Structure 1
Amino acid sequence: MKNYKTINFIREGGIYFIVLNRPEIHNAFDDLMIEELIDAIDTAETEDCRLLAFKGNGESFCAGADLNWMKKMAQYDYNTNLEDSKKLSKLIDKIYSFAKPTIALVHGAVIGGGNGIVAACDLVIAEENSFFVLSEVKIGLAPAVISPYVIKRIGEFNARYLMLSGKRIDAFEANKMGLVNLVVKQNEVDKVYKENVELFLRSAPEAVKICKKLIRDIVNVYSYEEAGNITAKIIAEMRVSPEGQEGMNSFLEKRKPSWRKNK
């Protein structure tokens, strides 16, 4: 695996971990971390990855943008800031659009842009000690780049409340709003994580890839009128595909499909 300065990139079989690794500043990100995250995600996308998980070293998952980096960027002109912001937008979209399941394993603080990483993942498992803050308005900014993903996660009016007030919420309130899927005790994280990984790995790899793209396109691309014809074509193609045939035959023959030989 590649070596990076701000993240750890770890492979365990078909499971890939991206670990934010700036614990001295609570894993706040800067331009280098953004570039390294994009590169790691691209690498996982091209390899035999079945699932991608995000974690943070130290006391926090992610404290948002590195203030020293933000201070530096404030000295540059609009065009430079625009190009810089597009890189963060590219990162969050890559997480949201990643072809295989994504999990965020959250603990401690999730501040500002860190909520974008969380919101873009398929499954968010948070330790009960976690807290979440969309604090940008407190320093005269807005959570602009991450807003499409946060709003998808928690809805318009929950987003209005948190984005306009900058209120800190705990893991249980984040769960009620939909930002977090599961809240667990610290000693239960590994157990709950492994249970959910097992669920994902039982699913047919190509079907998962198609399903993720289907969900993304239904929400963001297709009109209601388009969706009927397009989805009919998708299921017809999947039924006659090698994986679809194997899945249906294994069900009728009461055996495990080929992708579950060791499951």
Structure 2
Amino acid sequence: MPIALRVHRDGPLARLCLARPGVRNAFDAALIAELTATLEALGGDPGVRMVVLEGEGPAFSAGADLNWMRAMAAASEEENRQDSLALARLMRTLDELPKPTIARVHGDAYGGGVGLVACCDIAIGVPTARFGLTESRLGLLPAVISPYVIAAIGARQARRYFASAEVFDAAEALRLGLLHQVVEPGQLDAAVQRQVDLLLKAGPAASAGAKALVRAVTAHADAARHDADNAALIARLRVSPEGQEGIAAFLEKRPPNWMPR
């Protein structure tokens, strides 16, 4: 089986590389499970002080894998709920990882890929990267990733981009707060390394505890309930008539029936 996730350790730094370039690093159940397990292991490793998340090939992550999407479109609502809870666990694990995280966004991020960027503590991208919360084109919503995206870009902007599925560039991602910095491709590694160096100068407990402090101030009253509700929502949407039509139209490369002819 091809490797879906490459892990490289360099002293206190762990680099996780999504390694499905043939499908633009899109998610499937196996990648979600592998990435979640790896993050959980790194979170408990005292030798790791920070994590860089990156992608192989031209894209950072295109979101859902087509074959995975096709399988889930044919699955029951309960199967979709369980599947969505697995993705929710991944996002929650990354967001709450007790180590600082850096997203190295060298290419496009869509759907769940935007969720990964939003879950990281620091996000640096290149000018050519494009972003999209395109689920509504399929009659769906970015429910599972919504807590993290809304925290990154704010409720007002989320209402626009969740509804319109508009694709936006890195400059807009910077303005919205999804990215912290935009640099030319040749400067990307240096910009990431600068953040690594700054984190190494900070107290390990302090830098690891920074996100816990922010979360304590701004946390949802019941995070587990939030995840369960969001997973139930996307499961209902996936098996609804509109969701089924949207997914089918996407897979069949045709306009959905709600688009003007």
By the TM > 0.5 criterion, same fold?
A: yes
Give 1:196's aligned residue: 195
Give 2:4's aligned residue: 6
Give 2:106's aligned residue: 107
Give 1:53's aligned residue: 52
Partner of 1:64, secondary structure, is coil
Give 1:240's aligned residue: none
User: Pairwise CA RMSD of aligned residues?
Assistant: 1.4
List gaps (5 residues or longer) in structure 1.
223-263
Alignment of 1:59-208 (within 5 A): 59-208=58-207
* Cα distance, 1:4–1:121 mapped onto 2, change above 3 Å: farther
Distance 2:73 2:34 in 1: 22
Q: 2:28 aligns with which of 27, 30, 36?
A: 30
Give 2:240's aligned residue: none
Distance 1:154 1:113 in 2: 15
Q: CA deviation at 1:111?
A: 0.7
Letter in 1 for 2:42: A
Q: CA deviation at 1:212?
A: 2.3
Q: CA deviation at 1:221?
A: 5.7
> Any idea what the Cα deviations from partners look like across 1:120-161, whole Å, max 9, x if unmatched?
100000011101011000111100000110000000111111
Distance 1:45 1:31 in 2: 21
List gaps (5 residues or longer) in structure 2.
222-261
Q: CA deviation at 1:218?
A: 1.2
> Any idea what the Cα deviations from partners look like across 1:200-235, whole Å, max 9, x if unmatched?
11011112223321111111068xxxxxxxxxxxxx
Kindly tell me the number of residue pairs found equivalent between the two proteins.
Answer: 220
> Any idea what the Cα deviations from partners look like across 1:146-197, whole Å, max 9, x if unmatched?
0110000000111111111111100001100101000000010111111111
Runs of at least 4 residues off by over 3 Å = none
Q: CA deviation at 1:26?
A: 0.3
Q: Percent identity?
A: 38
Distance 2:162 2:215 in 1: 24
Distance 2:132 2:208 in 1: 32
* Cα distance, 1:173–1:58 mapped onto 2, change above 3 Å: same
Kept in 2: contact 1:4–1:36 (CA 8 A): no
Alignment of 1:224-243 (within 5 A): none
RCO higher in 1 or 2 (8 Å CA, sep ≥ 6)?
Answer: 2
Distance 2:30 2:107 in 1: 23
